[in-house]
Structure 1
Amino acid sequence: MRQIIYDKVKYIADKYKGYIDTEDLMKEGLTNRQIGLLTAEGKLEKVAHGHYWIISPEFSKPEDYKAVEVARVNRKAVICADSACYYMGLIDKEPEILSIATRRSDRHKMKMNFEVSRHYFSEQAFEDEKHVFDTKYGSYNVYGIDRSVCDCIRFREDIDKDIFELVIENYRKYDKKNEERLMAYAKAMRIGRQVERIGLDR
């Protein structure tokens, strides 16, 4: 490609400093063919359909890039279960697979550059106890700790065994846990007996 295209990419990188959508790349004067070539050359990283990260030595991805990128693809998705426990600070080890929740009626494709475990929730269950994390790259949603611990028990088969045990161990010691709220979620999810057997109130 001509040098003018690379100069344009540098200008875009300086302007956007991170994530950019196909629509904005084209507004800045790039064609679909040029976007494809720049991606092949490692100037752009395609994070999902229609979404890119501008590769530059002047900045790097944020630590919470997985949550940020999921939100850019589907702004209504919510980080849940073990991943929510990590983002909410209950555990300090990030799960390799990002757990996300969407409504059952949500038809957004969630094909990412990293592995995602997607869980579908009813309308009422989906709306409960969401927290919004605001960053310079955009905002994303995360479920609260009490609810997320219940989700971990509910989706236990989909969660790494060591991560699951860490969640349970840390929740038992968690000084801000709300056992009443925990059991309310457990009963709504029909896992009350499982929660009682695990003994989270120790």
Structure 2
Amino acid sequence: MTQKDLVTKLLKDNKGILTSGEAKEAGVAYKTLQRMYQVGEIEKLEQGLYMDPDQMEDEYFLTQYRCKKGIFSHETALYFHDLTDRTPFQLMLTIPSGYNTRLLKEKEKFKFFYIAERLHTIGRIAMETPFGHQVYVYDKERTICDCLKKKDQLDTDLVNEAVKRYMKTPGADYSKLLKYADVFNIKDLVRKYMEVLT
């Protein structure tokens, strides 16, 4: 198998995306990637990230690649969990306080929420994007807590609808929801919503 064939195989196995680190690990020389990129056989998305030109760009994967500590949250997480039908026009991510990402400048495309480092990874799970790549998203219970806590900064109808949907979801974990609500100091608010909506 030539190096070029190997790159094609790696791209296929990785659903159209390849990092230079993965290529190197598989024994592909950096020169091969450069050459393939120059003749248009692969696309370069960013430093060290390549894509099959026939592939649709996976914005979720790319965003997390560019903002390593970002976890999809709030309205974007609701979309991942099927708690809203609305495709996010602005990607929402939670990052640790003080973490700086160059994506902060792109205010039209992204909305960032800050949280203390010790609370940042609570409820973090891996999920697949619509393109089949793995990204980090908060679980349903953490997402509901986040949305209720910041509901004045979000679309209120969307949040209410999502909470209603969550209540009807088989396997909704109320004890976990209340445990998170306690950690984030919104237990009364969550209880109130649960009473009104159940």
Q: How far off is 1:130 after superposition?
A: 1.1
Is residue 128–residue 135 contact of structure 2 (8 Å, CA) maintained in 1? Answer: yes
Correspondence for 1:59: 55
2-structure distance, mates of 1:166, 1:29: 48
1-structure distance, mates of 2:86, 2:48: 27
Unaligned ranges ≥5, structure 1: 1-12
User: Match for 2:157 among 144, 158, 162?
Assistant: 162
Sort the Cα spacing of 1:133 and 1:45 in 2 relative to 1 into closer, same or farther, 3 A.
same
Number of equivalenced pairs: 179
Unaligned ranges ≥5, structure 2: 1-6, 24-29
Identity, % of aligned pairs?
17
Q: Could you give the per-residue CA deviations for residues 120-152 of structure 1, whole angstroms, max 9, x where no partner exists?
A: 111221121211135787531011001110100
Runs ≥4 in structure 1, deviation > 6 angstroms? 20-24, 43-46
Correspondence for 1:10: none
2-structure distance, mates of 1:164, 1:51: 38
* Matched residue type, 1:91: T
Sort the Cα spacing of 1:123 and 1:94 in 2 relative to 1 into closer, same or farther, 3 A.
same
* Matched residue type, 1:175: P
Q: Secondary structure at the match of 1:92?
A: coil
Considering only aligned residues, what root-mean-square deviation do their CA atoms show, in Å?
Answer: 3.7
Q: How far off is 1:173 after superposition?
A: 1.2
2-structure distance, mates of 1:183, 1:87: 21
* Matched residue type, 2:55: F
Correspondence for 2:69: 76
* Matched residue type, 1:189: F
2-structure distance, mates of 1:193, 1:133: 30
Is residue 20–residue 50 contact of structure 2 (8 Å, CA) maintained in 1? Answer: no
Correspondence for 2:148: 153
Q: Secondary structure at the match of 1:177?
A: coil
User: Match for 1:197 among 189, 192, 197?
Assistant: 192
With the length of structure 1 as denominator, give the TM-score of the two structures.
0.68
Q: Secondary structure at the match of 1:199?
A: helix
Correspondence for 2:100: 107
